[in-house]
Amino acid sequence: MAAPIRDSSRKLRPVPEMEPVQDGRRIVRAGLALIALFFGVFGVWLVLAPLSGAVIATGFVKVASERKTVQHLEGGIVKEILVRNGDQVKMGQPLILMAEVQISAAVEVLRQQLDGELAKASRLRAEASRQPAITFPPELLARQKDAKVAVSLRSEQAQFDARRRLIESQVNLLNTQGKQVEEEIRGLLSQVRSAEEFISLTNEELKMNQALHEKNFVAYPRILGLKRDLAQKDEKRGEYLSLIAQGKQKSSEISIRIGTLTDSQVREATDLLKESERSIADLREKLRPAEDALQRLSIDAPLAGEVVGLKVFTAGGVIAPREPLMDIVPLDAPLVVEGRVQVQDISQVKIGGRAEVQLTAFKQRTTPMVDAVVTYVSADRLTEAGGGGQLPGPYYVIQAKVDPAELRKLGTDARIGTDIKLAPGMPVTVFIKTRERPAIMYLIEPVTDVLRRAFRES
């Protein structure tokens, strides 16, 4: 038996009408329009918006004139240390005193030798030029109150006087001998004149007697006696003339001996003076470094500044030659920022370029960057092992000067809460601005660089 069919039309609900298809398309078009607008605006921004690039250099703050390392040329024993780390010193202020025993003794010996040679050279110069007195150099006269200098002066003066008296006595003796010879010559000349007069008179007498002999008034023996007297007197006259010649020769020899005596003294003094002057030059060459070493017994500050990195702490200790003892950081010298730039970025760094410095020693969130100007770029790349946050391998060194007005401005900024003051050694990061380029170039250039290197035959 068939079941009765129920009327279910009363239980069916009406189906709601569907939205038109056009409404869905409108939404899609709106979405596409928004996307196109976004990419359009983004594309215009990429093409037109200028972006500034920057080369990043890590570095630190340093003194523009460099910190000065204090050393000692010869080294030696430390007598006293006068400074400590952090002390502020003036230029020329003693820092360390060195023991002076050996150097002082060497300087004293050389100085005494030099004083003696100077006094000796003055005496020899006076003897060589036949001066009546010694003219000592001003450097000795200025110290003539010094007992050792006074002894040298008196010794040379006494030797000069003694040698002068000796020469004078020898010359006087020779002059006396010369005068005696001259007196003898004068006596002999008188004898010669007397003999000649006798000969003249005897000749007249002989003539008269010969005339009388011819008349037989005078005997011949008388004539022979007169001739004998003439011969004897003529012989005597010859002896006198010979003695006169000998006397003149002796007088000449005495004059020559006087000249030789004085000339030999001059030659001897001249030769000794040359040796003395060579000795003086040698002693001065030896004394100069010794006196320099004596002055360096006090290690003085080369400039005004603050002592850092002191390495000597023990009085009586030994320091090696040229060993670094401490550094002095100048107080008044300007500070600069020094950083290292990678070699591939150096083409974008120029002297006079603008830069921004980030003081990483302060809170980066509250400390803004400060403006700076690039003042130095190394002429060639340097190579050093990396460390301490520095670039490994080759790099270029740059320096930038921070505007002091920028620091004063930061110091008054209430957000920072502390005064901003640069100090040597403070770490920084330098952003060196490069040329402005559209944003799209930052996307295209890596691709063009790759394409430029691609498709190259190896």
> What are the average pLDDT values for consecutive 10-residue runs of the chain, which has 458 residues?
47 52 72 81 67 79 82 86 92 88 80 90 89 89 88 90 85 83 82 82 80 77 81 82 84 82 84 91 88 82 90 89 90 82 87 86 74 89 63 82 75 55 82 72 66 62
- Distance separating the N- and C-terminal Cα atoms of the chain: 97
Q: Is the dihedral of CA 156, 161, 166, 170 positive or negative?
A: positive
- Residue-level pLDDT at 454: 65
- Residue-level pLDDT at 48: 63
The residues facing 373 across adjacent strands are 354, 401
Which strand (E) or helix (H) includes residue 96? strand 94-98
Token pair 């005696």 is found at 180
Query: Residue 103's closest CA among 77, 139, 80?
Result: 77
What distance in Å separates the CA atoms of residue 346 and residue 343, rounded to the nearest whole number? 5
Residue 188 · residue 240 · CB < 8 Å = yes
Q: Any residues with CB less than 8 A from the CB of 138 and at least 6 apart, and which?
A: none
- Residue-level pLDDT at 5: 46
Residue 308 · residue 109 · CB < 8 Å = no
Residue 419 · residue 362 · CB < 8 Å = no
- Neighbouring C-beta atoms of residue 111, cutoff 10 Å: 18
- How far, in whole angstroms, is CA 152 from its chain's centroid? 34
Query: Residue 258's closest CA among 183, 176, 182?
Result: 176
What six digits make up the tokens of 103?
Answer: 């150097």
- Residue-level pLDDT at 381: 87
Residue 185 identity: I
- Residue-level pLDDT at 89: 92
- Residue-level pLDDT at 244: 83
- Residue-level pLDDT at 70: 92
Residue 432 · residue 355 · CB < 8 Å = yes
| pTM score, whole prediction | 0.48
115 CB-contact burial (10 Å; exposed 0-12 / middle 13-18 / buried 19+): buried
Residue 114 main-chain phi, psi, to 5 deg: -65, -40
What distance in Å separates the CA atoms of residue 332 and residue 455, rounded to the nearest whole number? 59
What distance in Å separates the CA atoms of residue 66 and residue 100, rounded to the nearest whole number? 32
